[in-house]
Structure formats: C-alpha cells, structure tokens
C-alpha cells in the first residue's frame, strides 16, 4: 500500500459508492478519490474474489494496490462490497478500512440511522489519522438546487457505477443527441441525505413531522426501496422529452439487474425505446456493446412514439393447479414413505401439501420470504411463509428448472442473476403458483431476494417489506434492528387486518427454541461416525429450519435427533475408511446421482454442512424483538471475517474433518465471495480443499462426467493425507 510521502499532506480516502458523503469528508480535512473515476489499464494484483462477484468490485480489489490512498470507505450496499471489506480487513490489516451502513427507505428512521453512522465514520477517521474533528461540520449544507430539466430529445443513461471508458463510448455513439447520465459515478446520495436530514432537524424539533411535507430531491440507486416509484414518476414527467433510455449495469450487480424488466415495461408503456447493457468494467473489449449501442441509436430514427403497450396478468384460478409443477409434485407423494429419515418424510409431506393445496386454497395467507428471514413472526400471525429458494429447489429436483429459467430470461432477467430466483419467477409467471399477494424478506446475505420482492411489487402489485439488516452487530445497529422488526410486525398486522397476539408470538418463539435444541443435539451426534448419507440433509432437510416456530418444526427436529440417536446405537464400531467432509453452500439439486457417487462410491461422507448450521442464540421469551434482532445480526456472513474463519475452524476440529468442498453456485455473491478465506484456512490446517464451480438449479452446462473426475481427484488427495 502506498503511503503519503508528505506527512503534512491531507490523508487520501478512496471510496466506491455514491452514498459516501464526499463533500462532507472533504470539508473535514481529507482528500478523496472515487474509484469509479479511476481506470487503470491492466490493474496489478491477483484475482482474489471469484468471477461471479460484481465486476466493479473485482476491478476495485485489483486497483487498491495501484491507487495512492491512505484509507478506503466501503458501504453496506451489496454482498460484493461486503466481501471486498472482508478481503481488505484480512489481507491488508494495516490499511484504514470502514464499512458505512446505509438506509433503504426514504424515512426519518432510516436517514437518522445513516446520519449516526456517518458520525461514527468521521470519529473513526479523525482518530485514526489524528485529524481534529469539527464541532459542527454540517454548517456547510445549503439547499440543493432542483435537478436540471431534461432537454427535449435526450437520451437518459441510468445505471450503477460505469467505467470512464464506457461513458466515453456512450457519448461517442450517441452523438447528435443530448445525453444526461444518472449513474453511481454522478450521484451524491450521501451528501444529499445528510443535507435533507439536517435541514429538517435544524428547522424544528419536530423534524419527523416536517419530513412528509417536502419531497426528497434524492435520485435513488436501485438498492433503495423507493427506486421503482421514483422511476415511474420520472418517466411520466419526462416521457415527452426522452428520445430513449440506456439502462446499464456492472456485470453481476443484482440490485440493478433485477429492476431491468420493470424498467423495460414502464418504458414500453410510454413508448420510450430502452436498451439494457451489462459492462464487465474493464479498459478494453467494448466491441459488442458498441455495436448494440449503434444499433439502438439507429432504431431511434424509426421509433413510433405513439406505440403503447399494456400488460395484464392472468388471474389465479383453480385451473392453474393443473400445471407441470403441481402435477409432478403429486407424483412425489408415492415416494415420501421411501425416504430414509422420518424427518425428511415429514418435511417433504408438508411441502407436498403446501404447493398442491394450501397455497391455492388460501393465497391471502401466503407470505413469500427468503432463506435468511426469521419465520416465527409469520407463524405467530397464522400466515404461511413460503421460501422462494425452496420452490426453486423443487423445480430443479423435478426437472423443470431449465424451462422456467428460460421464461425469466425471456422477460429480460440477466443470465448472470441467481437461478434460484429466475426459476421461481418463471414458475409464478407461468401460473404454476398463485401470484404473490405479500412478501417480506431480510436484506442480508442475498441481494437477489430483495430484487425478487421489488419485482413482486411492480409486476403483481404485491404488498412487500424489506427488512434492512445492518452489517455490524453493535448496540446502535441492534436498536435499529428492533425498529425494523417493529416495522415488520406493523406490516404483518396491516396485511392480516388483526394484531399479533403476544401469547402467539411467545408460543412461536418457544417452539422455535425447542426445535433448535433438538437440531443442535442431532448435529452433535453427527460428530461421531457417519450415520447416514449427509447429502440427504443438504438436499432434503434444507426446508426444515424454516419450519422453526411451528409445531411441525418441533416434530421434524425431534424425529431427526431421535432417529440419529437410534442409528448410533446400532453399531458402535466406527468406519475408519470413510472420509469426513464439510460441505459449504448447496449442491446441484437437478442431479442427485453425483452426490450419491461422492458418498457411496468414493466413500467421502458429508458429516457437516453450513445450510443447517445453527448460528443464533436461543430466543429470550421476555425480549422477543431484541432476540429476533440478535438472530438477524448474528449471521456468520455478516461482520468480522476473522470470526467466520474461527467458526469454520471450530467445525473442522469438532467434526474431525478430512476435507472441504465449496460449491461455487454461479448466482450467489455472498458465500462463494468468501471462498478465498476458506481456501486460506484449509492451507493453514493442511486439509484438502475443492472448489466445484456450477449451478444448484440450472442444469445447462452441467457435466456429470467432468464433476466426477474432479471428485475422484479430490478423493485421491484425501487418501494421501
């Protein structure tokens, strides 16, 4: 890392995101460098982060060594940024690096949360660099001018961070048209939020009441909750002045890519030509994109502005039950009793009833969620939570995922987005499940789940909520998270039309504690000799922890523990030939034979996997909100990378692991993004480690023979240890 040559010079702080308060930090006494304005030919350094992480993030990781900066401020805007933070904290501990928590909604609570974290950032920077902290550094803020009126016949460029070279190309190929860019490079969201918040705070002690009286001048990025509403208003107000719209995103940027079908639809309604582009954020290789831009510009000359397109959604009806998904689900009924574990039988039977009957009989009780959302509040309210990843898993298992993924991509969803979400969206669009009426997800660990919920709102008018989960587990963030759960409970009560009874919540949390206890005891038993093929837990018991909070969840966890206990009594002689594996992430769900081959033929048994790992503490029934908040903030892919490393090391030691397999699911950013750290741990401990690239849901491009070869080579390595 390059250090300042002159100790009297201002410290130089690099940043990547428009939510960094650039003007404020400069006023305090720092110099700043926006990485989105820097383009280095052939950046030095090794590619540490995997290929499916946002290309802007990966390029920034390589630019850090070349940039003459004294510190770096990142934001909690996406999984890619979180993984870059991990890399810097572990690989460059001498460097000042801070991650800034962000708001998600245009609300007093969220902006106050952001302002507090900016003050924490300033305190941390001033202490680290021995810079005097101003007593009042908000006096510089003045009213911001209203955005410039868009010139008639303009091309509007909307997107994430775009490389300087790409912006040059856009201007070059749109010659003759006025161009206005609204990109992460051009926004000043951080300063704009502080300006608005502190003007309200300064105006009166009742800033929250004044909040609703003045519209925000903020032009939000796609991660913000009100991006879609802003865009719809923008198009309505400016449709007569726009010649076309260029929607551009860094490759693998989930926040922007999930919005493209809705942007495309809104532009079509108002007759505005639109083109979607993905940039691999580099200094060369613009030929294909340049050709597409040229063709788009040529088409503008023939555009018929009177064209209007409207779309209507087919109504959910009993006839839709006779679709390929529900028909194939019914076939699973005959195989339930053949499942080797009673717990699996109970889980599969529940999912059979849910997808063939319950969701159709009472669609108003269904709430769509994601895998990290706490389900207990929904059970307490008498709702039926459906995990979107679970649906995709069934589609892959039933051999249907490829077709539904293709349907989603045909609607404009990028090939780089997670196949779990594309498969589920394709199924719903095809009428395989009722259109969502309500959806609530947590923002952590999976940017894609947030994108799906936003699409539900735009496409189907679903009532939605995003629980904004901070990155750090701190007192300030715990209080904020309690407010987020208060907001969730209010949303649930509005959705159901009745209050959540406190005794029902206590009951749900209590049952969750019971299930958790049985589950942990079952995992303790797996520390002994392999009792059953571990891929069955990875594949068939994924949905079990999502039942925690219901009586069925207790039944499943108890049955799991008791059956493993019985299996352990049948034979006290351990099988020394079986190699013990820790499996990280999920597995190819469309091909079960590959996992059977690993365990039965190669004798490499999965004795532990992170999909069922219990990372949260027992709920305190006297503090329900605080307990739920604590669980959300305690996920081991949030916060300290070193703590995550210690968790994996403990699992390796306690389960006497011989080797690790990390499945690098194409669409995931959060878990594969930390593969370098797991690889480093394996090297430190002298344990064989295998990364398997592929996709859990999408069978296209899968080669069973190739994966078997890699597994065989790995097994040979295990034999030499």
Q: Does residue 168 lie in a domain region? A: yes
**In this predicted model, which residue has the larger pLDDT, 333 or 631?**
631
What's the order of all strands across the beta sheet hosting 154-159?
A: 179-182, 154-159, 242-250, 274-279
Domain extent, residue 32, equals 12-129
Q: Does residue 122 lie in a domain region? A: yes
Question: Quick one: 455 and 525 in the same domain?
Answer: yes
For the chain, what is the mean pLDDT?
89
Question: Quick one: 328 and 292 in the same domain?
Answer: no
DSSP string, 124-147: HHHHHHT-PPPS-TTTT--PPPPP
**Which of the four pLDDT bands, split at 50, 70 and 90, describes residue 9?**
confident
What CATH number has the domain bearing residue 231?
3.40.50.11900
Q: Does residue 146 lie in a domain region? A: no
Give me the pLDDT at residue 176, please: 83
Q: Does residue 143 lie in a domain region? A: no
What's the order of all strands across the beta sheet hosting 96-100?
A: 31-34, 12-15, 71-75, 96-100
Domain boundary among 129, 144, 164: 129
Q: Does residue 239 lie in a domain region? A: yes
Q: Is residue 247's pLDDT more than 90?
A: yes
Task: Give the global pTM.
Answer: 0.93
Question: Quick one: 350 and 434 in the same domain?
Answer: yes
Q: Does residue 135 lie in a domain region? A: no
Q: Report, as an integer, the average pLDDT of 80-86.
A: 96
Q: Please give the distance of CA 327 from its chain centroid, rounded to a whole number.
A: 31
Q: Is residue 308's pLDDT more than 50?
A: no
Question: Quick one: 500 and 429 in the same domain?
Answer: yes
Question: Is residue 546 within 8 Å of 387, Cβ to Cβ?
Answer: yes
Q: Is residue 6's pLDDT more than 90?
A: no
**Which of the four pLDDT bands, split at 50, 70 and 90, describes residue 290?**
confident
**Which of the four pLDDT bands, split at 50, 70 and 90, describes residue 333?**
confident
Residues with Cβ within 8 Å of 388's Cβ and at least 6 positions away in sequence, in order, are: 368, 369, 370, 420, 421, 424, 449, 452
SS3 400: coil
**Which of the four pLDDT bands, split at 50, 70 and 90, describes residue 306?**
very low
Q: How many CB atoms lie within 10 A of CB 51?
A: 13
Question: Is residue 604 within 8 Å of 577, Cβ to Cβ?
Answer: no
Residues with Cβ within 8 Å of 612's Cβ and at least 6 positions away in sequence, in order, are: 519, 523, 537, 538, 541, 542, 544, 545
Question: Quick one: 347 and 253 in the same domain?
Answer: no
**Which of the four pLDDT bands, split at 50, 70 and 90, describes residue 210?**
low
**In this predicted model, which residue has the larger pLDDT, 65 or 388?**
388
Q: Does residue 118 lie in a domain region? A: yes
Give me the pLDDT at residue 46, please: 67
Q: Is residue 3's pLDDT more than 50?
A: no
Give me the pLDDT at residue 572, please: 59
* Dihedrals phi, psi of 69, to nearest 5 degrees: -125, 155
Span 517-545, pLDDT tens digits: 999 999 999 999 999 999 999 888 988 99
**Which of the four pLDDT bands, split at 50, 70 and 90, describes residue 291?**
confident
In angstroms, the first-to-last Cα distance of the chain is 37
Question: Quick one: 622 and 685 in the same domain?
Answer: yes
**Which of the four pLDDT bands, split at 50, 70 and 90, describes residue 206?**
low
Span 434-456, pLDDT tens digits: 999 999 999 999 999 999 999 99
Range with lowest mean pLDDT among 64-78, 133-147, 489-503, 650-664: 133-147
Give me the pLDDT at residue 173, please: 85
What CATH number has the domain bearing residue 98?
3.40.50.11890
Question: Quick one: 470 and 597 in the same domain?
Answer: yes
Give me the pLDDT at residue 303, please: 57
CA–CA dist 32, 20 (Å, integer): 10
Span 545-565, pLDDT tens digits: 999 999 999 999 999 999 999
CA–CA dist 298, 174 (Å, integer): 10
Q: Does residue 612 lie in a domain region? A: yes
> Which residue has 């009126």 as its token pair?
149
**Which of the four pLDDT bands, split at 50, 70 and 90, describes residue 196?**
confident
Span 253-276, pLDDT tens digits: 999 999 999 999 999 999 999 999
Short-list 436, 485, 457, CA closest to 630: 485
CA–CA dist 63, 72 (Å, integer): 12
Question: Quick one: 125 and 264 in the same domain?
Answer: no
Question: Quick one: 99 and 245 in the same domain?
Answer: no
Question: Quick one: 108 and 178 in the same domain?
Answer: no
Find residue 691's DSSP bridge partners.
662
Question: Quick one: 637 and 597 in the same domain?
Answer: yes
CA–CA dist 377, 375 (Å, integer): 6
Question: Quick one: 337 and 233 in the same domain?
Answer: no
* Dihedrals phi, psi of 664, to nearest 5 degrees: -95, 75
In the chain, the number of structural domains is 3
Q: Report, as an integer, the average pLDDT of 482-505.
A: 97
Give me the pLDDT at residue 305, please: 42
């Amino acid at each position: 890392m390059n250090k300042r040559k002159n100790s009297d010079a201002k410290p130089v702080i690099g940043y990547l995101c428009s939510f960094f308060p650039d003007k404020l930090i400069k006023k305090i006494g720092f110099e700043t460098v926006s990485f989105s304005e820097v383009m280095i030919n052939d950046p030095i350094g090794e590619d540490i982060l995997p290929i499916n992480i946002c290309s802007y993030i990966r390029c920034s990781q390589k630019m850090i060594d070349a940039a003459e900066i004294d510190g770096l401020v990142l934001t909690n805007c996406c999984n890619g940024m979180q993984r870059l933070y991990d890399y810097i904290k572990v690989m460059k501990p001498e460097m000042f690096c801070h991650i800034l928590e962000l708001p998600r909604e245009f609300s007093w609570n969220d902006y106050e949360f952001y302002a507090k974290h900016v003050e924490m950032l300033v305190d941390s920077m001033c202490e680290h660099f021995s810079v005097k902290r101003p007593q009042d550094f908000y006096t510089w803020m003045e009213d911001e001018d209203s955005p410039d009126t868009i010139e008639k016949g303009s091309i509007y460029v909307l997107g994430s961070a775009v490389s300087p070279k790409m912006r040059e190309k856009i201007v070059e190929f749109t010659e003759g048209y006025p161009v206005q860019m609204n990109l992460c490079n051009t926004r000043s969201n951080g300063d704009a939020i502080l300006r608005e918040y502190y003007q309200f705070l300064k105006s009166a002690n009742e800033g929250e009441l004044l909040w609703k009286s003045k519209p925000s001048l903020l032009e939000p990025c796609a991660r913000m909750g009100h991006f879609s509403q802003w865009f719809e208003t923008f198009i309505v107000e400016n449709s007569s002045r726009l010649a076309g719209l260029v929607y551009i995103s860094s490759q693998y940027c989930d926040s922007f890519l999930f919005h493209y079908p809705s942007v495309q639809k809104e532009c079509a309604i108002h007759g505005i030509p639109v083109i979607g582009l993905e940039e691999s954020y580099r200094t060369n290789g613009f030929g294909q994109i340049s050709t597409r831009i040229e063709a788009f510009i040529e088409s503008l000359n023939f555009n018929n502005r009177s064209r209007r397109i409207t779309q209507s959604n087919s109504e959910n009806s009993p006839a839709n039950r006779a679709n390929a998904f529900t028909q194939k689900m019914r076939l699973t009924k005959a195989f339930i009793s053949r499942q080797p574990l009673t717990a699996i039988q109970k889980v599969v039977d529940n999912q059979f009833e849910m997808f063939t009957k319950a969701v159709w009989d009472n669609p108003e009780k269904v709430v769509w969620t994601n895998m990290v959302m706490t389900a207990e509040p929904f059970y307490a309210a008498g709702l039926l939570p459906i995990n979107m990843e679970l649906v995709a898993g069934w589609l892959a298992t039933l051999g249907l995922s490829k077709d539904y993924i293709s349907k989603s991509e045909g609607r404009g969803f990028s090939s780089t987005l997670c196949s779990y979400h594309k498969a589920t969206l394709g199924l719903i669009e095809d009428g395989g499940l009722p259109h969502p009426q309500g959806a609530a997800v947590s923002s952590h660990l999976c940017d894609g789940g947030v994108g799906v919920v936003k699409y539900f709102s735009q496409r189907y008018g679903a009532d939605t909520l995003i629980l904004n989960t901070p990155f750090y587990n701190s007192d300030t963030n715990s209080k904020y998270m309690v407010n987020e759960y208060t907001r969730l409970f209010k949303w649930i009560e509005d959705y159901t039309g009745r209050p959540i009874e406190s005794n029902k919540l206590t009951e749900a949390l209590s049952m969750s504690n019971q299930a958790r206890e049985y589950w942990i005891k079952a995992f303790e038993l797996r520390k002994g000799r392999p009792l059953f093929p571990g891929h069955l837990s990875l594949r068939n018991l994924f949905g079990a922890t999502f039942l925690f909070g219901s009586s069925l969840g207790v039944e499943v966890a108890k049955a799991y523990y008791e059956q493993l206990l019985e299996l352990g009594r049948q034979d006290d002689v351990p099988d020394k030939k079986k190699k013990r594996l820790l499996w990280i992430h999920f597995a190819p769900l469309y091909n079960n034979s590959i996992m059977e081959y690993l365990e039965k033929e190669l004798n490499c048994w999965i004795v532990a996997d992170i999909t069922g790992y219990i990372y949260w503490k027992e709920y305190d029934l006297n503090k329900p909100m605080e307990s739920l908040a604590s669980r959300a903030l305690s996920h081991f892919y949030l916060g300290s990378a070193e703590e995550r490393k210690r968790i994996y090391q403990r699992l390796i030691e306690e389960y006497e692991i011989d080797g690790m397999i990390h499945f690098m699911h194409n669409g995931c950013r959060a878990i594969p993004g930390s593969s370098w750290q797991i690889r480093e741990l394996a090297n430190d401990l002298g344990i064989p480690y295998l990364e398997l690239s592929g996709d859990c849901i999408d069978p296209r491009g899968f080669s069973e023979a190739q994966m078997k070869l890699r597994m065989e080579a790995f097994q040979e390595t295990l034999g030499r240890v």
